[in-house]
């Protein structure tokens, strides 16, 4: 017989079996009435009934159904192994993608934290600059007040007495505060420069 005609005959028989409703009963007794075969796979057939679509695996079906749909255990095992391999590959790719996304989120979070740190250091630097300017202004005012003089009368006559402004006693304290602010400002500027380099 001509091989081309044989192939056509097999295809015609298969397409006819796809179109006609049939009853299927599995080896454990479950029945599928008026089911239409919609797909033939190496490991089973997909059938459609009025209420559902089900996959029936060839080992669950009687021998005559297996023969009708050309069940080959070796092909089924190879197809199943290929499906398992494909599933494993998909799972590996999904795991790798998930890992990459987590790493990207982590890097983004770290970058945001670095930027927030840079901003906080910049804000602190501005505060310290303002503190330094305020202290310099106070020190300047006190240094310019100089000595205060006043006169006092006593029994022998007028006595002219000079005395320093009591507020000038705060100068050493203010100078100490100024030194502390300048030290802190230098520390913050160094930290800011380092943070800016790291955030690039």
Residues of the chain within CATH 1.10.287 domain(s) are 107-198
pTM of the model: 0.49
Closest CA to 61 of 77, 73, 75, 45: 45
Query: Is residue 126 predicted with pLDDT exceeding 80?
Result: yes
Element (H, E) at 41: strand 31-41
Q: With pLDDT > 90 as the criterion, what percentage of the chain qualifies?
A: 49
Residues 40, 14: Cα–Cα separation, whole Å:
9
Residues 171, 139: Cα–Cα separation, whole Å:
6
- Specify the pLDDT at position 144: 81
Average pLDDT, the chain: 84
- Specify the pLDDT at position 114: 92
Task: Summarize pLDDT for 67-80 with one digit per residue, the tens.
Answer: 999 888 888 888 88
33 conformational bin, left if phi > 0, alpha if psi -120 to 50, beta if neither = beta
Right CATH number for 107-198 from 3.40.50, 1.10.1660, 1.10.1740, 1.10.287? 1.10.287
Residues of the chain within CATH 2.30.30.100 domain(s) are 3-71
DSSP structure class, residue 170: G
Closest CA to 170 of 133, 129, 197, 138: 138
Q: Which residues of 152-170 are buried (b: 16+ CB within 10 A; e: fewer)?
A: eeeeeeeeeeeeeeeeeee
Closest CA to 198 of 128, 107, 136: 107
Task: Summarize pLDDT for 96-108 with one digit per residue, the tens.
Answer: 999 999 999 999 9
Question: 25 forms bridges with which residues in the sheet?
Answer: 31
Task: Summarize pLDDT for 32-85 with one digit per residue, the tens.
Answer: 989 999 999 888 999 999 998 999 999 999 999 999 998 888 888 888 888 889
Residues 195, 49: Cα–Cα separation, whole Å:
68
Q: Which fold has domain 3-71?
A: SH3 type barrels. (2.30.30)
């Amino acid at each position: 017989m001509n091989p081309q005609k044989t192939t056509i005959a097999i295809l015609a028989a298969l397409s006819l079996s796809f179109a006609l409703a049939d009853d299927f009963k599995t080896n454990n007794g479950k029945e599928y009435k008026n089911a239409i075969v919609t797909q033939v796979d190496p490991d089973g057939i997909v059938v459609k009934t009025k209420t559902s679509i089900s996959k029936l695996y060839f080992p669950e079906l009687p021998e005559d159904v297996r023969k009708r749909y050309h069940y080959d255990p070796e092909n089924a095992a190879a197809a199943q192994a290929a499906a398992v391999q494909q599933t494993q590959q998909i799972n590996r790719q999904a795991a790798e993608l998930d890992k990459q996304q987590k790493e990207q989120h982590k890097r983004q979070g770290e970058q945001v934290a670095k930027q927030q740190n840079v901003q906080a250091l910049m804000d602190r630097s501005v505060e310290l600059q303002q503190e330094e300017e305020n202290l310099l202004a106070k020190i300047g005012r006190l240094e310019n007040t100089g000595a205060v003089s006043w006169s006092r009368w006593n029994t022998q006559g007028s006595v002219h007495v000079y005395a320093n402004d009591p507020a000038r006693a705060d100068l050493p304290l203010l100078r100490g505060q100024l030194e502390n602010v300048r030290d802190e400002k230098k520390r913050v500027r160094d930290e800011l420069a380092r943070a800016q380099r790291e955030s690039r």
